[in-house]
Amino acid sequence: MSNVIDFPSDSENASAPFYGTCPRCGCEGELVNIGPDQWMVCDAHRVKWPLGRDVIPGWDVETEQQWQHNHWRIAGYKKVKPCFEERVGH
Ligand SMILES: [Zn+2]
């Protein structure tokens, strides 16, 4: 008998989904929802890049007030192309 939890084997390959990184600092950004419209933002560089619509579940638990807040939060952020540089293996 063992209490060790076996994670489903596919979790091994479940490296974090990759939505691009901030072209300035390489951070993965923070998810910001404006209704179903989803953005990644880097607060340090005041940039945002679009993920798409309803890409990551969970946005619908937020309130309209929160979306409004998010909208204004990133309204002044610069829209950029995220960096999709692959990690180069040696
Ligand atoms: Zn950045």
- In-domain check, residue 13: no
More confident residue, 86 or 43: 43
For residues 69-74, average pLDDT: 98
What distance in angstroms lies between residue 41's CA and the mean position of ligand 1's atoms? 8
What distance in angstroms lies between residue 21's CA and the mean position of ligand 1's atoms? 8
- In-domain check, residue 49: yes
Q: What is the pLDDT of residue 85?
A: 76
Say if residues 80 and 27 touch (Cβ distance below 8 Å).
no
CA 38 – CA 34 distance, rounded (Å): 6
What distance in angstroms lies between residue 42's CA and the mean position of ligand 1's atoms? 5
The Cβ of residue 24 has, within 10 Å, a number of other Cβ atoms equal to 14
- In-domain check, residue 12: no
Among 83, 86, 15, 87, residue whose Cα is nearest residue 49: 83
- In-domain check, residue 66: yes
Domain count of the fold of the chain:
1
pLDDT tens per residue across span 13-70: 455 568 999 999 999 999 999 999 999 999 999 999 999 999 999 999 999 999 999 9
- In-domain check, residue 63: yes
What is the SS3 assignment for 13-42?
CCCCCCCCECCCCCCCCEEEEECCEEEEEE
Q: What is the pLDDT of residue 12?
A: 47
What distance in angstroms lies between residue 28's CA and the mean position of ligand 1's atoms? 8
Range of the domain at 24: 20-79
pTM of this structure: 0.76
Share of the chain above pLDDT 70, in %: 76
What distance in angstroms lies between residue 75's CA and the mean position of ligand 1's atoms? 16
- In-domain check, residue 61: yes
The amino acid at 64: E
- In-domain check, residue 7: no
